[in-house]
Structure 1
Amino acid sequence: MANLGTGGADLIKSHEGFSLKFYGDPVGYPTVGWGHLITDTKKYTKNTTGNPKDSLLTQAQADALSSSLNLGYTSPISQSKANTFFTEDTAKAVSAVNKLSLPTGMSLTQSQFDALVSLTFNGGPGVLTTNDVKTMLAYKQIYSSFQGPRSKEENDNCSKLVSKAFSYDRNLQRRRNEEANLFCKGMGYTHKYPVYTL
């Protein structure tokens, strides 16, 4: 069982935004820390900028929410609570990636694992069952454990498969390209086809 590495954690955190105070996410659901969903039963101001400060709940709203849900905490939370939430939230994505069935004898590098955890953290575990992700994972040449060398054509196929697998949610192009770059890190192939171009 692999764990999330620093590269993956840093990538996720850099895209999630961060706030110790409760804020509305892009749908308006109250959120805290690095995108930790408090509940999906109430809505507040939607975040349209990606900056949590632009959709903060008032202290009265936060206290009322905390009380109505019996949270045992209110806004602002402590840094250690934010760290705990992040660990708990990423654990679901880590577990989903660890459950992937890879071709016999193949294993993911730490960077590949982290890139898939970031994708899953953001898109949910269902993203791992898309045809593009399944096709990429079935291609033995994608792995560092592949007993190479890879031909130029195989390297090109790897690049194309990675681009397609990470072409998920057009609104998050920068994040998806960073995940694809991380997936290719240290491999003989590169992320030369930006997501959504194939």
Structure 2
Amino acid sequence: MKFTLFAAAAALASTAVAFPITGDSVNCRSGPGTSYAVKKSYAKGHDVTITCQTGGTSVSGNSIWDKTSDGCYVADYYVKTGSSGYVKPKCSTGGGSCSAPKSNAATVDLIAEFEGFVAKVYIDATGHPTVGYGHLCTKSKCAEVGYPIPLSKANGKKLLATDMAKAEKCVTAMLNSKAVLNANQYGALVSLAFNVGCGAVQSSSIVTRLNKGEKAATVYPQEFPKWVHGGGKVLPGLVRRRNAEVALAKKAAGKALPC
């Protein structure tokens, strides 16, 4: 019995090992990615206890994010674990524990409708070269696109579907196993995140309610209409988009989450 108790205590101690932060003022976020809200910051040398690990935004080639005992996520790149791989179990609910489902065609079409299409490269209002359905170019002449420019609408939607991956991944990561969504309900939330940013959605009452097990059919009509403001004013375009997202979510479809 004594040996059993000692072994259990040793195992518990090994799981509670802390790891030092290697960067200066490293942010711990509400989800596994740089788009999530900052919950707190760690000073260099601060020891953190990791409860589980998951995939997220790549930081200098490392896409692992560590969930700390503080309940937030820090990029593993800034934590000295002694390994470039996983040293803790993968987070079992939410937190990117499964591959994000791809949005269906209805979701791609909805986002495309509201993003608008431009076949040639243009400079957007923020000064960034842009093409297609709002794709922000990362290389000269949008060389990363991989489709002939001027873009066809068909290729523009393929590019849009690729650009939506970030929103899909963070929506999947922010929801736990109590959040049950069909493909259209999932797509509506992806559209919202693509529009307003994943950090904003992750900290919203939408996600809080879904993660408590409330049904999307109840939550969406009550919560989505709140996201229609810009510059302190109600924007008609956002009203139309939120209405379209809620309408999409009301349509029957196969299960998307939990995966």
Query: Deviation at 1:128?
Result: 2.2
2:104 — aligned with what? 5
* Cα distance, 1:173–1:103 mapped onto 2, change above 3 Å: same
Counterpart residue number, 1:30: 129
Query: What amino acid is aligned across from residue 162 of structure 2 in structure 1?
Result: E
Bigger fraction of residues in strand:
2
TM-score, scaled to structure 2:
0.47
What CA distance in whole angstroms lies between the structure 2 residues aligned with 1:185 and 1:175?
A: 16
Larger relative contact order, structure 1 or 2 (CA cutoff 8 Å, min sep 6): 1
Q: Does residue 174 in structure 1 map to residue 174 in structure 2?
A: no
RMSD: 3.3
Match of 2:114 among 10, 15, 20: 15
Name stretches of at least 5 consecutive residues in structure 1 with no aligned partner: 41-64, 145-154, 188-198
Residues 19-168 of structure 1 mapped to structure 2, 5 A cutoff: 19-39=118-138, 66=141, 76-79=149-152, 82-104=156-178, 106-143=179-216, 159-164=221-226, 166-167=227-228
TM, length-normalised to structure 1:
0.60
What is the rounded CA distance, in whole Å, between the counterparts of 2:145 and 2:207 in structure 1? Answer: 41
Counterpart of 1:138 in structure 2: which amino acid? N
Aligned length: 148
Go from structure 1 to structure 2 and tell me whether the alpha carbon gap of 1:163 and 1:135 turns closer, same or farther (over 3 Å shift). farther
Q: Which amino acid aligns with 2:209?
A: M
Structure showing greater Rg: 2
Report if aligned partners of 1:29, 1:38 keep a CA contact under 8 Å in 2. yes
73-82 or 85-94: bigger deviation: 73-82
Q: CA separation in 1, counterparts of 2:133 and 2:145? A: 19
- Point out the structure with the larger helix share: 1
Identity between Structure 1 and Structure 2 (%): 30
